[in-house]
A and B are shown apart, each in its own frame.
Chain A
Amino acid sequence: MKFSSHLYYEYRRVKKAILLYLLLAGPGIIVMVADNDAGGITTYAATGAKYGYGLIWFLVLLGPIAYFIQEMTVRLGAVTKRGHAEAIFDAFGPFWGWFSFIDLTIVNWLTLVTEFIGMTAALGIFGVPPYITVIGVSVIMGIMVLQGRYWTWEKITLIFCGLNLVYIPTAFLVHPSVSQVIGQGIIPHFPGGFTNELFFFLMANIGTTIAPWMLFFQQSSVVDKGMREKDIPWGKFDTLVGSLFTVFVAIFVIIVTGTVLKGMNIESAAQAAQVLMGKDKYIGTFLAIGLFDAGFLGAVCISLAGSWAFGEVFGWAHSLNHKVKEAAWFYACYFLALVTAGAVVLIPGAPLVLITLFVQVIAVTLLPAALVFLILLLNNEEIMGKYKNTLLQNIIDSTIVIAIIILSTLYGISALFSGLFGG
């Protein structure tokens, strides 16, 4: 009797915990899954095609890196109830505030264009004209935010996050050798030696792991969701689940292209999907759906990150819980970014390659600043109180931030001077 009542008690406790998590889950998973955006999927597809399963171990390392950076935004958002843009203005003054804000606006808009490039290319495989994709995506994204509740927006977005798992059945369809995946992928090594080209691929993978918009998005999202200090452990757990999710997806993309396209030079995920379509239409179709979903999630998060930042800085109402007439400027920013970025993709002869290149370069001007501000804010006792970084957190976070700054800067420079690292 005592055992059964204890069992029932445990069952109720676990059930309650799961329900509470489902209620609080969102920002962490969404930001991490959206991290595997169109550019990210392209990088993983190219990495798999180039090195097979040889760099899977490296992607596993990127999970904790993303987690440690993003969990800081959860604490900062929950404690200060401010988004990252507003927090920078408040703590560091107008110079750094405007610098971060203007840089974020430019990077976000350019990244949004690359998401549209990914989405139009993915649906183009099925014969959907680009203008239909742009209009369709804009309408769906409009409906998602205009319903007037953060909670509903978040749960719809989580469904799109689930669609990102399409890479898992795709990986099973290509029948990879499990022993080869484990043998070649898990033990850290540099396939073919540490060449310039390999270094370029490592930098590209790091570059896709942490993007400036992610910091701004998750912090604003935590604030809009209304998370409080007591919710921090759940927010951190949510981020941890998201980081596992993102690593799994990345690994399965690598397994797909590493099995079927090994030895090929892949320029984009859409190209990979096109080639795979010729080999097996289901594999190609799944890859294209995954690419579209990746671009869509990226676009959802990036356009919101920008609108939240505008609202925070200019003092406008900036919550998804507001109706259009209550937060007209917030929604105007959202749609303006969406429509203009989509329109660029439709312009015949638009310099899309140049835009993609520019994203990498401009991002390295913002990312170090945003990361340094994050560390400084998390070390300020007046702002963070008992939630400030511990010594161990500082050692881990500072090491990660320095490594990211060095590698992403080299990646940005290599984008400017092609051939510098063999990329």
Chain B
Amino acid sequence: MIHFIKNWFDKIKEINRKYSTPRIKMTRAVKIALFMLRLYLIILVLILVYKFLITSKMVG
């Protein structure tokens, strides 16, 4: 089992190494798009956390 998990971690490390340098040229447009995407996901996570908290409060 430990061997199996270790193999998986090694595989993930190998994938991270393989793709460590993004191929796409980081132009201004790409940087802005990725920044907006991060912002969008953060806001979405905050909404989900808020929903979770008010639901827990109601159940409690």
Residues of A within 8 A of B (CB): 89-94, 96-97, 313-315, 361, 364-365, 368-369, 372, 375-377, 379-380, 382-383, 405, 409, 413, 416-417
Q: Is B11 a contact of A92 with CB atoms below 8 Å?
A: no
Nearest CB in chain B to that of A315: its residue: B15
State which of A94, A369, A375 has its C-beta within 8 Å of the C-beta of B19. A94
- Within 8 Å CB of B48, what residues of A? 361, 416
**Interface 0/1 of B8-21, CB less than 8 Å to A:** 00010001101111
Consensus secondary structure, chain B interface: helix
> Is residue B2 within 8 Å, beta carbon to beta carbon, of the partner chain?
no
State which of B15, B23, B24, B37 has its C-beta within 8 Å of the C-beta of A368. B37
Total residue contacts A-B, CB cutoff 8 A: 58
In Å, the complex CA distance between A195 and B41 comes to 29
Q: A365-B41, A372-B37 are in contact. Are A91 and B24 (CB under 8 A)?
A: yes
Q: Is A97 a contact of B51 with CB atoms below 8 Å?
A: no
Chain A: minimal CB distance from B15 (Å): 6
- Within 8 Å CB of A375, what residues of B? 33
Chain B: minimal CB distance from A373 (Å): 9
- Within 8 Å CB of B44, what residues of A? 364-365, 409
Chain B: minimal CB distance from A391 (Å): 14
- Within 8 Å CB of A91, what residues of B? 22-24
- Within 8 Å CB of B20, what residues of A? 93-94
In Å, the complex CA distance between A383 and B25 comes to 10
Q: Is B19 a contact of A376 with CB atoms below 8 Å?
A: no
State which of A94, A372, A382, A416 has its C-beta within 8 Å of the C-beta of B25. A382
In Å, the complex CA distance between A413 and B15 comes to 34
> Is residue B47 within 8 Å, beta carbon to beta carbon, of the partner chain?
yes
Nearest CB in chain A to that of B51: its residue: A416
Chain A: minimal CB distance from B23 (Å): 5
Nearest CB in chain A to that of B52: its residue: A416
B1-60 interface (Cβ within 8 A of A): 11, 15-16, 18-25, 29-30, 33-34, 36-37, 40-41, 44, 47-48, 51
- Within 8 Å CB of B23, what residues of A? 90-91, 382-383
Q: Is B30 a contact of A376 with CB atoms below 8 Å?
A: yes
Q: Is B33 a contact of A417 with CB atoms below 8 Å?
A: no
In Å, the complex CA distance between A96 and B22 comes to 10
Q: Is B37 a contact of A94 with CB atoms below 8 Å?
A: no
In Å, the complex CA distance between A93 and B20 comes to 6
**B30, B37, B44: most-surrounded residue (chain A CB, <10 A):** B37
In Å, the complex CA distance between A314 and B9 comes to 12
Chain A: minimal CB distance from B36 (Å): 8
Nearest CB in chain B to that of A362: its residue: B48
- Within 8 Å CB of A409, what residues of B? 40, 44
Chain B: minimal CB distance from A156 (Å): 33
Nearest CB in chain A to that of B40: its residue: A368
- Within 8 Å CB of B19, what residues of A? 89-90, 93-94, 97
Q: Is B24 a contact of A372 with CB atoms below 8 Å?
A: no
In Å, the complex CA distance between A380 and B30 comes to 10
Q: Is A376 a contact of B24 with CB atoms below 8 Å?
A: yes
What are 20 A-B pairs at a CB distance below 8 A?
A89-B15, A90-B23, A91-B22, A91-B24, A92-B22, A93-B19, A93-B22, A313-B15, A365-B41, A365-B44, A369-B37, A372-B33, A376-B24, A377-B24, A379-B29, A382-B23, A383-B23, A405-B40, A409-B44, A413-B47
Chain B: minimal CB distance from A215 (Å): 15
- Within 8 Å CB of B30, what residues of A? 376
Nearest CB in chain B to that of A92: its residue: B22
Q: Is A380 a contact of B24 with CB atoms below 8 Å?
A: yes
Q: Is B51 a contact of A94 with CB atoms below 8 Å?
A: no
**Known pairs A89-B15, A94-B19, A417-B51. 11 more at Cβ < 8 A?**
A89-B19, A91-B23, A94-B20, A369-B41, A372-B36, A376-B29, A376-B30, A382-B25, A405-B40, A409-B44, A416-B47
- Within 8 Å CB of A96, what residues of B? 34
Chain A: minimal CB distance from B10 (Å): 12
Chain A: minimal CB distance from B41 (Å): 6
In Å, the complex CA distance between A90 and B41 comes to 21
- Within 8 Å CB of B11, what residues of A? 314
In Å, the complex CA distance between A263 and B9 comes to 56
- Within 8 Å CB of B37, what residues of A? 368-369, 372
State which of A92, A313, A416 has its C-beta within 8 Å of the C-beta of B24. A92
Chain B: minimal CB distance from A416 (Å): 5
